[in-house]
Amino acid sequence: MNKTKNLIFTSAIKVFSINGYDRATMDGIASEAGVAKGTLYYYFKSKEEIFKYIISEGMKVIQEEIDESVSKTDGEIEKLRTVFKTQLSLVNRNRDFFKVVASQLWGKEIRQFELRDIVNNYINYIESFISTSINAKMIKKGNSMLITYLFVGILSSCSIYEVSKNEENIDDIVDNVMNYILNGIGI
């Protein structure tokens, strides 16, 4: 991504995060990026196109960072822990992006259906880690997609916890959550 397109990317995320999709404007994005409106239109034909771009690129960056972190890790459970920690760190560093995703998941507009497809692709990506752990007999055999949704749901809840409690030590959160996931919360 070139410098100008990256600037538009980060500025659009901020504008969508603050204003929501409906109130975000091309003028607002250009102003936030500090570029002429013509420059913005050189790269993107519409607000819809910018939105699609930030979502697809943002999710691509997330998967790349998870892949890089996991590639340095051995053992299936440790890989799940790494996925969890990396995702939690990404939410912490990219709150505006996750706010845009969360705010647009529901609804019946084409962009919202497309966003759900992108999120479903991400869930399938996470499911591959769960399936591998099941096949390696590191976690109980079960419905890998249901387990993945539970994993992603817990991850989402932990992200809210981390943001609202302003937790500093992500390792402690990850250790506790992985312990609860793997051992349950029973006595």
Is 185's pLDDT higher than 70? yes
Query: CB of 159 within 8 A of CB of 88?
Result: yes
pLDDT in tens, 168-183: 678 888 888 888 888 8
- Asked whether residue 29 falls in the same domain as residue 51, the answer is no
Q: Indicate the number of domains in the chain.
A: 2
**What pTM does this model have?**
0.86
Q: Look up the CATH number of the domain holding residue 19.
A: 1.10.10.60
Range with lowest mean pLDDT among 85-89, 109-113, 136-140, 161-165: 161-165
Q: What are phi and psi of 119, to 5 degrees?
A: -65, -40
Residues 37, 80, single domain; the answer is: no
Q: For residue 161, what are its two tokens?
A: 């916890």
Same domain, 27 and 59: no
Cα separation, 129 vs 77, in Å, equals 9
What one-letter code names the amino acid at 30?
A: A
Domain that holds residue 25: 1-45
Three-class secondary structure of residue 185 per DSSP? coil
